[in-house]
Amino acid sequence: MTIKEIFDTMSYGPALEANSEALDWLARHDHSFGHFIDGSFTAPEALFDSRNPATGKVLAQVSQGSTASIDAAVAAARRAQPKWARLSGHKRAQYLYALARLVQKHARLLAVLETMDNGKPIRESRDIDLPLVARHFYYHAGLAQLAPAELPGMEPLGVCGAVIPWNFPLLMLAWKVAPALAAGNTVVLKPAEYTPLTALLFADLSREAGLPRGVLNIVTGDGDTGAALVAHPGVDKIAFTGSTAVGKAIRRATAGTGKALTLELGGKSPYIVFDDADLDSAVEGLVDAIWFNGGQVCCAGSRLLVQEGVADRFHTKLKRRMDGLRIGDPLDKCIDVGAVVDPVQLATITRLVDASEGDKYTADTPVPEGCFYPPTLITGLSAASPLMQEEIFGPVLVSMTFRTPAEAVELANNTRYGLAATVWTENVNLALDIAPKLRAGVVWVNGTNMFDAAAGFGGVRESGFGREGGWEGLHAYLRPKGKTNPLKAVAAMPAPKTATVDGLDRTAKLLIGGKQARPDGGYSKPVYSPRGALLGHTGIGNRKDIRNAVEAAQAAKGWARATAHTRAQILFYIAENLSARAEEFAARIKAQTGSSGANEVEAAIARLFTYAAWADKFDGAVKSVPIRGVALAMNEPCGVIAALCPDEAPLLGLISVMAPAIAMGNPCVLVPSEPFPLSATDFYQVLETSDLPAGVVNIVTGPHTDLAKPLAGHMDIDAVWSFSSTDVSTIIETESATNLKRTWVNNGRARDWMAAEAEGRAFLRQATEVKTVWVPYGE
Ligand code: NAI
């Protein structure tokens, strides 16, 4: 064969990576594993097979964790936690550094084992997964070192339960274990049933690193084991990555328990190609977007949106590239697409594709027998087709065309998910105009699937909530230090036998879309002073009023585009107008509660100033990621925020939740103090005279227990907060699973609304989502 012929055919022979070390390691464990609890392996129990999907051969047997195994692991983690938390940040940093070094030292063994267990090409496990795992431990060694000085008011949560999927088994372990340990938590990890082996090898490495026993515990098993971990009362936080369906089940299972929760779920991420893009690069990017790990990637660019004028040309180039992809033995270094993780997943992909309409193009490339699926492109689908909406989690790309940038954004956002998005264009103005308009936690410009420990990763909408990576990721493993007091229900003043009318009897309405509206049900409720005087009536809002308020808030979403300066000005103006009527508001508080209201009004004015100040200062960041380019961490508003306001501070409570929400650009629907609602209804006039656009703040009075459910279940609300003195945390967290809106509830804990804990960064973080926009530069 001549050199020219070799270049023409690009024929190649297999270049198999040796797997003898991995087989030796399995043999050393007799191909049979117990759980890793309290620093050692338990005797194997209730064994099930872990297979190599590329060959179908059994690699080892692992134990199905029972509730007893979970009990033992949680108990070990609990015992170890106080001492681990008391170590200096530097000491924890040293352990994490040792883990990073050991991952590097054993990188090849880990990569080979990962490929054997999962079926992903060795090129990926070796060059992408393992370097990212090591990087994650290095980066978090740094966070462990700095956190005590940088976040002095924070402490670890306690015992963290981590449930992870099979698509990046070791990387997902790193994403959960590194920040949890850095922050001073201990961990019980449940790997996916298809891919438990690298986690068990990592357990060996943790012993080698001298990690104190009980700090990391690993219990293998299936969804039942995962559910037992989620349900365990000794767990303080659950960090989950996996399907949206299981994410919703976990949201419901943890509702009202006080467990912290982060969910990193599915996606149907758009990959947008504009007509001025470098099409060859965009094709290469697409190979990474959808054929990386055989498309079994939560943020896979699985939905191609290509501008009409270049669509034919782009599809032709793409098909040619698909034909050149090599599918086969994942241990072969020449392979682009490996095996699907399990025959069950292969059957799911086959079923979804077979049931779909559209024109299907299958790559013209040999596909081995067994658990393999060919790269596939489906065109001619409508935006509503199931495959345009549902995650396939396989090497299958669906494609649609668009005409204008506005249409591209509309199609891109036409999904219940919001994990990632990719934009290809040579026009920097267009790219940076589109990126903020995409509902996604991560946006890649002229590149795809860029990840780094310094840059937050995570979704919005049904892709879940919480970020992994960066300082923002560390916060998900910390809470404010200090004791909290239990919540005490605040009752309304009782109705006297005979009420006296204090001044003019007025019935306050609701505030919806900038107008005062009568409650739909036509009911109202009297509000009495402690001495039994009738102070007025307030409307009893119902589900319909909530719907109207949410509609008004949705219509006011343009508020997010008002400049931060404008938002600050309006908050200052609200403060000024409140200050002009301070005495009147103080008197009203006294009339309702019996206590002097002067301090509360003063604090409310100060709080408005605080958030006017923050409006243009809660900056994002430019992350130091190892690429030539930048990763911008942008603090974006969450969307529509609904809040049940504190009962105990009628005016200050309302302002404490309203001000951070609107300062960050979120329209809101507020349910004021239930026993003392009149300060909120008086406040309408202040809002009306402060240049606040209609619909940015909507107020619906009524019983918190009745309104919690429609608020938390509403599909057009993006976050719900509850500071009600009636603990409705369970209702809110359960109902929020409908669209996986973010929740922030008091879970039985009281807050001192006059104190510093009731304002500042914690509120701003809840009012924003971090969107990471990656912009590589150069040719
Ligand atoms: P899954 O969500 O069922 O599994 C993920 C993890 O959760 C595994 O460790 C599993 O044992 C555990 N688990 C399952 N049920 C649980 C429960 N009730 N409580 C606690 N833990 C539980 O994902 P699965 O079945 O492996 O894959 C199904 C589909 O999920 C895929 O086709 C894909 O669409 C999606 N998926 C998405 C992932 C992502 O990274 N976003 C990762 C894996 C799957």
List all residues whose CB is within 6 A of at least one atom of ligand 1: 163-167, 190, 192-193, 222-223, 226-227, 230, 241-243, 246, 249-250, 265-266, 298, 345, 348, 391, 393
Residue 483: per-residue pLDDT: 85
Residue 500: per-residue pLDDT: 67
Query: How close is the Cα of 265 to the center of ligand 1, in Å?
Result: 9
Helix (H, G, I), strand (E, B) or coil at 138: helix
Query: How close is the Cα of 195 to the center of ligand 1, in Å?
Result: 12
The set of residues, in sequence order, having a beta carbon less than 8 Å from that of 426 and lying 6+ positions away, is 276, 277, 278
C-alpha separations of 359 from 279, 378, 382, 399, 610 in Å: 22, 5, 12, 10, 57
Residue 778: per-residue pLDDT: 77
Q: Is the Cβ–Cβ distance between 333 and 430 less than 8 Å?
A: no
The hierarchical CATH code for the domain 34-265+473-479 is 3.40.605.10
The answer to whether residue 505 scores a pLDDT higher than 90 is no
**Run of H or E residues at 305:** strand 303-307
Residue 401: per-residue pLDDT: 98
Residue 497: per-residue pLDDT: 83
Residue range 700-730, pLDDT digits in tens: 999 999 999 999 999 999 999 999 999 999 9
Residue 1: per-residue pLDDT: 73
d(CA 458, CA 634): 13
Would strands 768-776 and 629-637 be described as parallel, antiparallel, or unpaired? antiparallel
Percentage of residues in the chain having pLDDT higher than 90: 95
Q: Whose CA is nearest to atom 6 of ligand 1?
A: 165
Average pLDDT on 4-13 reads: 77
Q: Is the Cβ–Cβ distance between 160 and 187 less than 8 Å?
A: yes
Residue 4: per-residue pLDDT: 85
d(CA 190, CA 219): 5
User: For ligand 1, what atom is nearest to the CA of residue 419?
Assistant: 41
Residue range 391-445, pLDDT digits in tens: 999 999 999 999 999 999 999 999 999 999 999 999 999 999 999 999 999 999 9
Average pLDDT on 483-504 reads: 83
Q: Whose CA is nearest to atom 21 of ligand 1?
A: 226
Question: For the chain, what is the radius of gyration of the CA atoms?
Answer: 28
d(CA 302, CA 268): 6
User: For ligand 1, what atom is nearest to the CA of residue 190?
Assistant: 9
Band (8; pLDDT cuts 50, 70, 90): confident
Q: What is the mean pLDDT of the chain?
A: 96
Residue range 189-232, pLDDT digits in tens: 999 999 999 999 999 999 999 999 999 999 999 999 999 999 99
The set of residues, in sequence order, having a beta carbon less than 8 Å from that of 778 and lying 6+ positions away, is 628, 629
Residue 547: per-residue pLDDT: 98
Helix (H, G, I), strand (E, B) or coil at 186: strand
Count CA within 13 A, CB hemisphere, residue 411.
26
Q: Whose CA is nearest to atom 9 of ligand 1?
A: 192
Q: Residue 507 pairs with which residues in a beta bridge?
A: 537
Residue 499: per-residue pLDDT: 66
Residue range 61-84, pLDDT digits in tens: 999 999 999 999 999 999 999 999
Residue 14: per-residue pLDDT: 85
Residue range 724-750, pLDDT digits in tens: 999 999 999 999 999 999 999 998 899
User: For ligand 1, what atom is nearest to the CA of residue 249?
Assistant: 18
Residue range 506-541, pLDDT digits in tens: 789 999 999 999 999 999 999 999 999 999 999 999
Band (3; pLDDT cuts 50, 70, 90): confident
Bigger pLDDT: 503 vs 48 = 48
Residue 6: per-residue pLDDT: 78
Band (12; pLDDT cuts 50, 70, 90): confident
Residue 779: per-residue pLDDT: 64
The answer to whether residue 503 scores a pLDDT higher than 70 is no
d(CA 284, CA 361): 18
Query: Chain centroid to CA 27: how far?
Result: 39
Residue range 169-180, pLDDT digits in tens: 999 999 999 999
Classify domain 507-627+637-769 at the CATH class level. Answer: alpha beta
463 phi-psi bin (left φ>0, alpha ψ -120 to 50, beta other): alpha
User: For ligand 1, what atom is nearest to the CA of residue 191?
Assistant: 9
ipTM score for this prediction: 0.96
Residue range 553-581, pLDDT digits in tens: 999 999 999 999 999 999 999 999 999 99
Give the mutation target among 50, 246, 461 for probing the ligand 1 site: most ligand atoms within 8 A of CB.
246
Residue range 586-643, pLDDT digits in tens: 999 999 999 999 999 999 999 999 999 999 999 999 999 999 999 999 999 999 999 9
C-alpha separations of 44 from 38, 47, 61, 304, 318 in Å: 15, 7, 9, 46, 48
Query: How close is the Cα of 53 to the center of ligand 1, in Å?
Result: 17
For residue 410, indicate whether it is catalytic: no
Query: How close is the Cα of 735 to the center of ligand 1, in Å?
Result: 21
Strands (E) in 571-655, as ranges, are 621-623, 629-637, 641-644
The set of residues, in sequence order, having a beta carbon less than 8 Å from that of 463 and lying 6+ positions away, is 244, 264, 265, 266, 267, 298, 417, 418, 419, 440, 441
First to last CA, the chain: 35
Residue range 104-114, pLDDT digits in tens: 999 999 999 99
Q: Which part of the chain is CATH 3.40.605.10?
A: 34-265+473-479, 507-627+637-769
Q: Which of 264, 674, 733, 769 is catalytic?
A: 264
Structural fold of domain 270-458: Aldehyde Dehydrogenase; Chain A, domain 2 (3.40.309)
